[in-house]
Amino acid sequence: MTTTSGAVHPRAAEARALAVAVLTYKRPADIAEALPQLAAQAVSVSSRFDRVEVIVVDNDPAESARELVESFALTAEVPVRYCPEPVSGITAARNRALAEGAGSDILVFIDDDERPSPEWLVDLVATFDRGDAVAVVGPVISRFDVQPDPWIEAGEFFRRRRMPTGTPVSVAATNNLLLDLRTVRRIGLVFDPVFGHAGGEDTMFTRTLHERGGRLVWCDEAIVWDVVPAERTTRSWVVRRAFSSGNSWSLTSIALADGPLARVRARLTGIAKGGVRAAGGALRLVGGVLTRSVRHRAKGTRTLARGAGMVSGVFGYSYEEYRRSS
């Protein structure tokens, strides 16, 4: 199976080792289902690289995934490594993946509750090979354990962006992301521990990568399916997620600002943009109530929550979406 169409960019061709990194935390059924698929994906690009492997970062201090992963590794067609990270938080787990991938040129992130499309890794690598990008981003499409109620569907809370392959982007999530580790190491980039429990660590990381000259591109064929459990299809959960998204955007914008004056501008921009979203969302929500429109009520609530999150971030509030009770 070929991973490219046409000539390989000279710089891309120099990348000879790839690792797929999956983070897990107390999801034995998910990691058991994901591992065989990820190993098969690694095999699919093995002719392109001198070395491929799968890295499992377990963020459970009790190392609950160890036995399962190490047992699977005994018969896997590619090396599979179990890597515990006892420090709580998504940032610590992602930084562990970066550290464990030190011997690789390319690191590909995916989450344990996601399932790759058949040609996922082939497509990511093909897009990387065709140009000089330092990161390739793919789409995430949600699949549901239970059908969301009409209000959530009308608000399009789980709808994510899609665009033509090759489109430049300036920010990305890390649940479907190929990284050129040579560039990441050269600029000394890691995930900021400030965002360990708040989320937004991927926003900060990829925006920093972009602002330091890295080219990020989209690969629309490299789909992963996000398996959404029932507890994430409630109105309260999706509204909190919208708030968190706006909150992390303001926090990262301020953190990226270079100098006091730039930080003031970032704060004013956050207040202005967040305020407009919050006000517009509130008006749409009221209009939806008056017209009995589910769509306007839901979309108004979503916009209002995101705007409120942006404004709260300007004033230093950090919504810790990933805070654990144990």
Q: What is the DSSP string of 198-248?
A: TS-HHHHHHHHHHHTT--EEE-TT--EEEEE-GGGSSHHHHHHHHHHHHHH
CB 19, CB 107: distance < 8 Å: yes
Stretch 138-146: mean pLDDT: 94
Taking residues 174-197, what's their average pLDDT? 90
Q: Which residues of 87-108 are buried (b: 16+ CB within 10 A; e: fewer)?
A: ebbbbbbbbbbbebbeebbbbb
| Residue 15 backbone dihedrals phi, psi, to 5 degrees | -80, 115
Q: How far is CA 257 from the centre of its chain?
A: 22
User: Cα separation of 83 and 222, whole Å?
Assistant: 26
Task: Measure the CA–CA gap between 205 and 241, rounded to whole angstroms.
Answer: 19
C-alpha dihedral (54, 59, 63, 68), degrees to nearest 10: -30
CB atoms within 10 A of CB 253: 23
* pLDDT 10s digits, 22-51: 999 999 999 999 999 999 999 999 999 999
**pLDDT confidence band for 4 (50 / 70 / 90):** very low
The whole-angstrom separation of Cα 316 and Cα 216 is 29
Q: Which residues contact 97 (CB under 8 A, 6 or more apart)?
A: 21, 23, 55, 57, 83, 107, 109
The predicted-structure confidence for 268-319, as pLDDT tens digits, reads as follows 999 999 999 999 999 999 999 999 999 999 999 999 999 999 999 999 888 7
Per DSSP, the three-state class of 177 is: strand
Neighbours of 159 (CB within 10 A): 10
Report the pLDDT averaged over residues 238-267.
92
- How far apart, in Å, are the Cα atoms of 132 and each of 87, 126, 214? 35, 12, 9
Mean pLDDT within 64-83: 97
How many residues does this entry show for the chain?
A: 326
Task: Encode pLDDT of 211-233 as tens digits.
Answer: 887 899 999 999 999 989 999 99
Q: What is the mean pLDDT of residues 132-138?
A: 95
Angle between helical axes of 120-129 and 28-44 (0-180°, round to 10): 50
Residue 5, pLDDT above cutoff 80: no
Task: Provide the 10 A C-beta neighbour count for residue 252.
Answer: 25
| Residue 2 reports pLDDT greater than 80 | no
pLDDT band at 197 (very low <50, low <70, confident <90, very high): low
137: helix, strand or coil: strand
- 84 pLDDT band, cuts 50/70/90, is very high
Cβ atoms of 108 and 78 within 8 Å: the answer is no
Task: Give residue 81's pLDDT.
Answer: 97
Residue 58: name the closest of 50, 74, 75, 70 by CA: 70
Question: Which pLDDT value is given to residue 323?
Answer: 61
State the virtual CA torsion across 106, 202, 254, 89 in degrees, nearest 10: -120
pLDDT at residue 325, as a whole number: 52
Q: What is this structure's pTM?
A: 0.90
pLDDT at 198: 63
